[in-house]
Amino acid sequence: MLRGGMLSRWIEAFQSDPLSLFISLLIEIPALLLALILHEISHGYVALWCGDGTAKMMGRLSLNPSHHLDPIGTLCLVLFGFGWAKPVPINPRNFKHYVRDDFLVSIAGITMNFLLFLVSSFLMVALSQTDGFMTYIFRFFTTFASINLSLAIFNLIPFPPLDGYHILNDILLKGRLRLSGQVLTGFQILFLVLCYSTNIVSNLVSTVAGSIWSGVVGFYIKVLL
């Protein structure tokens, strides 16, 4: 289970074992980027399916990390172990059914991360008794599973600009609440301050994700080992 920020663990690894840090970076950075990119691409493809091709026209269906990384969200990932990418550009006026389609687009990233968690944790357990080079593959799937689960839980928090805010808005307010880009940026900064000054968010994500991790991985162990 991913606990704490990436930065603190990287500093500790550098002080004790630089080679271990190098190997960890080769595993964790691709895992982070892949989890974030697939999260965002899933938003874009579902939006396209719902009638809005804005993400496709602006190149947001690309696997290029530079198209997706958000400065504040990436900083949260490094400091706290969870964060967000640059929101996919969406034009709701192109949706066939606004509230339904906005909900589907919002839940797409969380669904993708949770599915990736289920698949990668299954592969992690399947490879848990391997040795040699395969141990690095095992470590990648362990890291990838942990990151995806944390991202899925984190993005369910109903706070702008996270997906949970859109989901709550669509379910309870029928999509009536609209926030400008400047207001969303303000909420991002406020949320960063909240994460930095308190342990509320990190404890919430760790507790919920830890319970899911134990249940899913425990089930896979019973089935596979």
Question: Alpha-carbon distance 67 to 86, whole Å?
Answer: 8
CB 139 within 8 A of CB 133: no
Beta strands in 23-150 (DSSP E): none
CB 28 within 8 A of CB 81: no
Question: Alpha-carbon distance 2 to 148, whole Å?
Answer: 10
State in Å, rounded, how far the first CA of the chain is from the last one.
20
Question: Alpha-carbon distance 65 to 36, whole Å?
Answer: 9
Least Cα distance to 166 among 79, 67, 95, 118 occurs for 95
Which residues have a catalytic role annotated? 40
Read off the tokens for 28: 């964790």
